[in-house]
Amino acid sequence: MSGTALPYEFPIDVAQDDIDFMGHVNNASYLKWVQEAVIAHWQALAPVEAVAEHLWVALKHEITYRKPAFLEDDVVATVLLEKVQGARAFYETVIRRGGEVLAEVKSSWCCLDAETLRPARLARDVIDRFFVKSDD
């Protein structure tokens, strides 16, 4: 695969139950948002048949918190698929409020066959939908 990842913008609705005892978004909500954003990215760019035939489970999240988020904030997650190796996909998600980075997340996911729930490799043409081809 040669090309640049297509960024996917996922708007986040900060809900009252995201707010912790200190008045800002609880760290656990960021992980919920990343999961929602990555799945939405998959559903938006993959072919309908591939979406129906595959599920995703998170294997690892590495999150760096930069600034707190609050209830009325306008928050967006930008999702990039960095690479796919076998049944694993590696994502970068940046959560922002306007121009401010609130959190950066590196995550790895396992693609599963929806019927057998066993790891499954994606076809090259499916993976290619997540990248803009470069001219090299």
Task: Tell me the mean pLDDT per 10 residues along the chain, length 136.
Answer: 84 97 95 97 97 97 97 96 96 97 98 98 94 73
Residue 82 · residue 92 · CB < 8 Å = yes
In this predicted structure, what is the pLDDT of residue 134?
Answer: 67
Q: Tell me the C-alpha to C-alpha distance, in Å, between residue 20 and each of 29, 35, 102.
A: 10, 20, 16
Residue 93 · residue 107 · CB < 8 Å = yes
Give the DSSP per-residue string, 85-102: ETTEEEEEEEEEETTEEE
In this predicted structure, what is the pLDDT of residue 135?
Answer: 61
Please name which of 82, 85, 86, 76 lies closest in space to residue 36, comparing C-alpha atoms.
76
- Whole-angstrom Cα distance, residue 13 to residue 17? 11
Considering the domain 3-131 in this protein, what is its CATH number?
3.10.129.10
In this predicted structure, what is the pLDDT of residue 3?
Answer: 76
- The pTM (predicted TM-score) of the whole model is 0.92
